[in-house]
Protein backbone atom coordinates (compact mmCIF):
# COMPACT_ATOMS: atom_id res chain seq x y z
CA UNK A 1 0.00 0.00 0.00
CA UNK A 2 1.42 3.35 -1.07
CA UNK A 3 0.83 6.27 1.25
CA UNK A 4 1.45 9.88 0.38
CA UNK A 5 1.84 12.74 2.82
CA UNK A 6 1.74 16.45 2.06
CA UNK A 7 3.38 18.89 4.48
CA UNK A 8 2.89 22.61 4.24
CA UNK A 9 4.44 25.43 6.23
CA UNK A 10 4.65 29.19 6.18
CA UNK A 11 8.32 29.34 7.20
CA UNK A 12 11.17 29.84 4.76
CA UNK A 13 13.36 27.01 6.10
CA UNK A 14 13.83 24.13 3.67
CA UNK A 15 11.81 21.27 5.10
CA UNK A 16 13.21 18.32 3.16
CA UNK A 17 16.64 18.34 4.91
CA UNK A 18 14.95 18.73 8.30
CA UNK A 19 12.60 15.83 7.68
CA UNK A 20 15.43 13.65 6.35
CA UNK A 21 17.46 14.43 9.46
CA UNK A 22 14.50 13.68 11.73
CA UNK A 23 13.96 10.33 10.02
CA UNK A 24 17.66 9.44 10.38
CA UNK A 25 17.53 10.37 14.07
CA UNK A 26 14.43 8.29 14.63
CA UNK A 27 16.03 5.34 12.84
CA UNK A 28 19.04 5.59 15.19
CA UNK A 29 16.73 5.65 18.22
CA UNK A 30 14.80 2.67 16.89
CA UNK A 31 18.04 0.72 16.39
CA UNK A 32 19.08 1.45 19.98
CA UNK A 33 15.66 0.40 21.24
CA UNK A 34 15.76 -2.77 19.16
CA UNK A 35 19.19 -3.63 20.57
CA UNK A 36 18.02 -3.10 24.18
CA UNK A 37 14.94 -5.21 23.53
CA UNK A 38 17.06 -7.90 21.82
CA UNK A 39 19.25 -8.04 24.93
CA UNK A 40 16.20 -8.46 27.18
CA UNK A 41 14.86 -11.21 24.93
CA UNK A 42 18.22 -13.00 25.00
CA UNK A 43 18.25 -12.84 28.80
CA UNK A 44 14.84 -14.56 28.92
CA UNK A 45 16.01 -17.12 26.35
CA UNK A 46 19.09 -17.95 28.44
CA UNK A 47 17.11 -18.08 31.69
CA UNK A 48 14.47 -20.45 30.33
CA UNK A 49 16.59 -22.21 27.65
CA UNK A 50 13.95 -21.45 25.03
CA UNK A 51 13.90 -19.25 21.92
CA UNK A 52 11.53 -16.31 21.91
CA UNK A 53 9.78 -17.77 18.86
CA UNK A 54 9.10 -21.07 20.64
CA UNK A 55 8.10 -19.29 23.84
CA UNK A 56 5.66 -17.06 21.91
CA UNK A 57 4.10 -20.09 20.21
CA UNK A 58 3.68 -21.88 23.57
CA UNK A 59 2.46 -18.74 25.35
CA UNK A 60 -0.16 -18.01 22.69
CA UNK A 61 -1.28 -21.66 22.75
CA UNK A 62 -1.70 -21.52 26.53
CA UNK A 63 0.99 -24.15 27.04
CA UNK A 64 2.93 -22.16 29.66
CA UNK A 65 1.70 -20.88 32.99
CA UNK A 66 1.08 -17.17 33.23
CA UNK A 67 3.82 -15.78 35.44
CA UNK A 68 5.07 -12.25 35.74
CA UNK A 69 8.27 -13.24 33.89
CA UNK A 70 6.34 -14.82 31.03
CA UNK A 71 3.97 -11.86 30.69
CA UNK A 72 7.00 -9.54 30.60
CA UNK A 73 8.69 -11.77 28.01
CA UNK A 74 5.58 -11.73 25.82
CA UNK A 75 5.50 -7.93 26.18
CA UNK A 76 9.13 -7.65 25.10
CA UNK A 77 8.36 -9.76 22.02
CA UNK A 78 5.47 -7.46 21.08
CA UNK A 79 7.65 -4.41 21.70
CA UNK A 80 10.37 -5.83 19.45
CA UNK A 81 7.85 -6.54 16.69
CA UNK A 82 6.41 -3.03 16.91
CA UNK A 83 9.85 -1.38 16.86
CA UNK A 84 10.88 -3.52 13.91
CA UNK A 85 7.74 -2.56 11.96
CA UNK A 86 8.37 1.13 12.67
CA UNK A 87 11.98 0.78 11.55
CA UNK A 88 10.99 -0.92 8.30
CA UNK A 89 8.37 1.74 7.60
CA UNK A 90 10.86 4.58 8.05
CA UNK A 91 13.53 2.82 6.02
CA UNK A 92 11.14 2.72 3.08
CA UNK A 93 10.24 6.43 3.19
CA UNK A 94 11.11 8.31 0.01
CA UNK A 95 10.97 12.09 -0.01
CA UNK A 96 10.41 13.88 -3.30
Nearest CA to 38 out of 25, 52, 28 is that of 52
At residue 61, the pLDDT reads 96
What is each CA distance from 76 to 13, 37, 71, in whole angstroms? 40, 6, 9
Continuous H helices in 1-96: 15-48, 52-60, 68-91
Q: How many residues does the chain have?
A: 96
For residue 35, the model assigns a pLDDT of 98
Number of other CB atoms surrounding residue 55 within 10 Å: 20
Q: What is the pLDDT of residue 7?
A: 87
- The list of the chain residues with pLDDT below 70 reads none
Stated pTM of the model: 0.89
Domain ranges of the chain: 37-96
Amino acid sequence: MIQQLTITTDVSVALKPLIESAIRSELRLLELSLERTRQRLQAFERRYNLTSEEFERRFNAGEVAESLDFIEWAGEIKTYQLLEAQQQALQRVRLN
